[in-house]
A and B are shown apart, each in its own frame.
Chain A
Amino acid sequence: MSAPATAPAPPSAPSAPSSPGAGELWRRARGPAAFIAGLLVLAVLVSLGARQPREGPLEPENPGPQGTRALVEILRERGNEVAVARTTADALEAAGPGTVTVVVGSHRLPPAHVDRLAGGLGDRILVRPTTPVLRALAPGVRMTGRTEEETLDPRCRLDAAQAAGAADTGGEVYTAPRGRACYPAAGGHALVRASAGGHTATVLGSPAPLTNDRLDEEGNAALALSLIGERDVVWLRPDPVPEAGRTGLWELVPRSLRMSLVPLGAALVLLALWQGRRLGPLVTERLPVVVRASETTEGRAGLYASRRARDRAAAALRSGTLRRIRPGLGLGPDAAPAAVVAAAAARSGEAPARLGALLHGPGEPGAADPYTADDHGLVRLAEELDGLEERLR
């Protein structure tokens, strides 16, 4: 069939670019771009002034619970010079006759460095040293065990310990045959001082008295300050030594393969750009609602089935059958049930009582309907109604 005569008039508007050009894109993007650039500049400026304090236990810069910044600050306020050494060489350079070196984190010291330190340091305080460090820097002192008690009493004649009183020194315990030992616990003493070669070595079995967290408890602060005294301090906390001489997987990959990863990455970015760029904007469409006309009927069937509403289902089936057989029996829509039963019985030759039960359920109210007792009864009802309609046709 040809197109109807009165089609809508062809739109006569001329074509016009609807996507933004380069200038328009720049005008749109410059505001957000300037904002982001400003934020970046601001962030850089702010971060320039700040430096992240180092972290870790017994770190003199660490203000956290495990750090020792409080003790170091107190020492500096008291007038002690505190030099923080990160390497063996720094420590040896800073240490002198009038200084005391606090050695923490001694497990990071390589064996060669331990030997160099043994000769070069003056007085020293070793905080829970490793066995090689203990042997080298405090000759004659031996670790004998470990105590679970935290707070110990001094019970010795060492001035510093007496001044401090009870302190949280519980940890590893030592014996020193030729030195003085304080804070006894089962198996040894938590603080021992031994002298050898013109300098003293003090070994502390626990780092707790020095930490920010515990400095203000018991006699911890007094113990730490008294052990150091008026001397200048070298705080040796070695940085981890990088392992040398091992090659990773990365070094084993051929050099040209490593280098080709850069253009390969560029190729992947281009691939994403190529596939990601759409040819024009998405087209939207107002979609119609899709709902089946039979949906309410199906919903009602679902409700009948889920609630097992056999009485209602039976009533609907019976009224449907009655509606269809009445015209054939010559009866109107308002015919009495008995009249319908009588007419149907006359036509089909069935017993009126049985037909009555089939078409109208039990006669007296309250009596049980055999067809709605269970689902099988309902199926039987539907089939018998079908059979009746067939015979009456």
Chain B
Amino acid sequence: MAITGRAVLAAFAAALVVLVAGSVFTWLVTAVLVLLAAAVLADVLLAPSPRALRFERSGDTSVRLGERAEVALVVANPARRAVRGLLRDAWAPSACAEPRRRRIRVPGGGRVRLTTALTPTRRGDQAAAGVTVRSVGPLGLAARQATHSVPWTVRALPPFHSRRHLPGKLSRLRELDGRQAALVRGQGSEFDSLREYVPGDDVRSIDWRATARRDAVVVRTWRPERDRRILIVLDTGRTSAGRVGDVPRLDHAMDAALLLAALAGRAGDRVDLLAYDRRVRAQVRSHGRGSRIPQIVQAMAPLEAELVESDPAGLVATVLSGHSRTRQLVVLLTDLNAASLEEGLLPRLPALTSRHLLMVAAVGDPRVTEMAAARGSARSVYDAAAAERTLGERSRITAELRRHGVEVVDADPEHIAPALADAYIALKAQGRL
């Protein structure tokens, strides 16, 4: 039950009537009050029941963060009388559902289709909270109200801002094709084809047997290895919850991971995903060929950083017990936090690096760099000193990791995704995969 603004207006009008004519007709006060109460009561009783309405949803089930999804809501009125009033399709605040409330009129036995536009501001699953209908009585003085649960979920996917780097990185990857051996003769590079020698080619790649059969000098060409395995590991522990700029470190890591996955998928490598803090939060395994990007995106969407210290021992054990016994590139996206890495990951590195190639990628904080450059007042010099200490620890742990044969990519949020892609292309060019 609810009161409308019209009832309030009527009550003020009644007060006005009593003010004007109350001294003449003393019964007027009682009369207007009774009349008002009777009208409101009658309106409540005569209003069509909003509980009888039936709802159906259809529309988008996933949307990239920052884009707009539309969910349709069909309201069916099985009763004979028309229902008119207000309808609110409620979603969580971060879904930014529009419009928040609207006027509806559903004829008896009819259906009305409404559209709610969602522009989620946070990654993850957005569940519909409920549909509330306020059905106004024939006089428009009072209404009946009911809430229906009409379940629907829209998944807000990671935005993948770094996909604008994809064409450039792909063309760099293609440059590797065919001239691989001319640059570096890496171990395990695959033989691709024979072609005529052009000046500049490595003389070591001349195929003398083929040259003997032909008039011209023939060189072997190589192409990058294919069907290598790449395991992207997202650290979802407490260090990933910290915000760099206005976005959690985890989201920057996802962006970089998606670019790497897209690139590696095009290069013919298989990409797996693992999200881990103290247990497995998400896992995607590739079987056979074909892009796994959609699965990876779906697996990433609901991930949130947990406020727990990550467990590197469990992480290493999970990676080692993976179904792939072959050598793979393990890309660990975490923070170069000296305390947690020294105690957790470093002692367990040999077990990992003896079997796999490990690459650690971390998002640097521009705010710390900015603090390190601060000068002028004593306070800003203290800031700079604290920032220098953070940077010093970061470079110390980076050196320590590199000494263990770990590739380290450390870049600020703008550049982490292309930097990681470059590191991958460089590994591929060197044939180290």
Contact = CB atoms under 8 A, between A and B. Distances in A.
A15 B54 contact: yes
Interface stretch (A49-57, A66-74, A156-164, A292-300): A292-300
A351 to B, nearest CB: 24
B21 interface: yes
Interface in A364-386: 375-376, 378-379, 381-383, 386
Interface stretch (A192-200, A240-248, A260-268, A353-361): A260-268
A15 B14 contact: no
B155 to A, nearest CB: 6
Contacts of B17: 263
B294 A10 contact: no
Contacts of A11: 151-153
A298 B386 CA distance: 7
A297 B367 CA distance: 10
A313 B385 contact: yes
A31 interface: no
A99 to B, nearest CB: 50
Contact of A298 (B18, B58, B371): B371
B378 A292 contact: no
Interface string B13-40: 0111111111100101100110010000
A3 B388 contact: no
A4 B391 contact: no
A304 B383 CA distance: 8
B406 to A, nearest CB: 17
A256 interface: yes
Task: Bin the interface of chain A by size.
Answer: 35 or more
A305 B60 CA distance: 53
Given A281-B130, A319-B392, A320-B391, A8 B61 contact: yes
A291 B243 contact: yes
Nearest to B370: A294
Interface residues of B, number: 102
B105 interface: no
A10 B88 CA distance: 21
A289 B152 CA distance: 26
Contacts of A35: none
A323 B395 CA distance: 9
A112 interface: no
Given A257-B19, A262-B33, A17 B157 contact: no
Interface in A272-300: 273-274, 277, 279-281, 283-285, 288-298, 300
Contacts of B242: 291-295
Contacts of A323: 392, 395
Contacts of A44: none
A386 B375 contact: yes
Interface string B273-311: 000000000000000000001110110000011010000
A312 interface: yes
11 contacts: A8-B62, A256-B20, A263-B36, A277-B3, A301-B371, A301-B383, A314-B385, A316-B385, A379-B378, A381-B381, A383-B375
Interface of B: 2-5, 7-8, 11-12, 14-23, 26, 28-29, 32-33, 36, 51, 54-58, 60-64, 86, 88, 90-94, 101, 122, 125, 129-132, 134, 145-153, 155, 157, 160, 163, 241-244, 248-249, 293-295, 297-298, 304-305, 307, 335, 365, 367-368, 371-372, 375-379, 381-392, 395, 399
